[in-house]
Amino acid sequence: MIATSRPDGFDVALTLTPEAGSVWFVFNGPKLVLLADGTLPTGEAPLPAADVTPLGTLDGTSYLAAGLDGDLPGGYQSIPVRSGFGRLPEHHMGLAGYAAQVIEFARTHRYCGRCATPLSDTTHERSRRCPNCGLTAYPRVAPVAMVLIRRGQGRDTELLLARSPHFPPGMYSALAGFVEPSETLEAAARREVQEEVGVQITDLRYQFSQPWPFPHSLMLGFTAEYAGGDITPQPGEIDDARWFPVTDLPTLPAAFSISRALIDGAVAEALA
């Protein structure tokens, strides 16, 4: 299981009463609030909170999400959600990603986009409904097609990796881009490859997906074989793109990311 997925056995709930053992995912803006010792707040109401949203239960424990109401009290810290990897248990990281998305939904959908009436939560699904005009809003999910391109066989396999201007120095990753309205995943994958590096691909194959809550993406991972063309990085989007031997790769994304999972899988296959 990739780390940002909700844990197996988690029961989603739309109504929950906070209790002494409840675990809270409280957000100070986009950052996750932790106690000074690095653990999640627990209890009936451990912090002043707004937009309190039930998440569900796991092994008898209730989980809730909320936005911090006011300043961060003493004895707490706030960290970027992705910084929790390696600090929080894996099942808590999966729920943190879920919590971040539902709180972002609550924060950005306070009023009806059609008539500006305040929205209210529904009780039968994760949505908000306008009591005036009946418009129903759902949490946004933005699909992203990610493609790892390969050429060669065995230990001679090479991977086409690229770096964005926003990446840390020296880091390269697979190619990725958002799916456009009325576009299939396969068409988006081929379009993004053509736009970002100018090459043609064949044998496009879906591998797996990963929820990516920064703030509301769904990453869909593909592999493909190189079919032709010279690498031409897209100005403003790609700083550099090149072929790397599987035996001599650059700095890669963190182990919990779908890009790293695609790359690690390709390397393992090539060196098997």
**For the residues of 21-61, what is the DSSP string, one character each?**
T-EEEEEETTEEEEETTSPPPBSS-SS-EEEEEEEEEETTE
Asked if residue 226 lies in contact with residue 150, where contact means CB atoms within 8 angstroms, the answer is yes
192 is in an annotated binding site: yes
125 is in an annotated binding site: yes
CA distance 272 to 268: 6
118 is in an annotated binding site: no
76 is in an annotated binding site: no
138 is in an annotated binding site: yes
19 is in an annotated binding site: no
CA distance 110 to 105: 9
Q: Report the DSSP beta bridge partners of residue 178.
A: 144
217 is in an annotated binding site: yes
196 is in an annotated binding site: yes
216 is in an annotated binding site: yes
CA distance 136 to 261: 36
143 is in an annotated binding site: no
90 is in an annotated binding site: no
85 is in an annotated binding site: no
211 is in an annotated binding site: yes
Known binding-site residue numbers for Zn(2+): 112, 115, 130, 133
Known binding-site residue numbers for substrate: 82, 125, 138, 210-217
Known binding-site residue numbers: 82, 112, 115, 125, 130, 133, 138, 176, 192, 196, 210-217, 237
Known binding-site residue numbers for a divalent metal cation: 176, 192, 196, 237
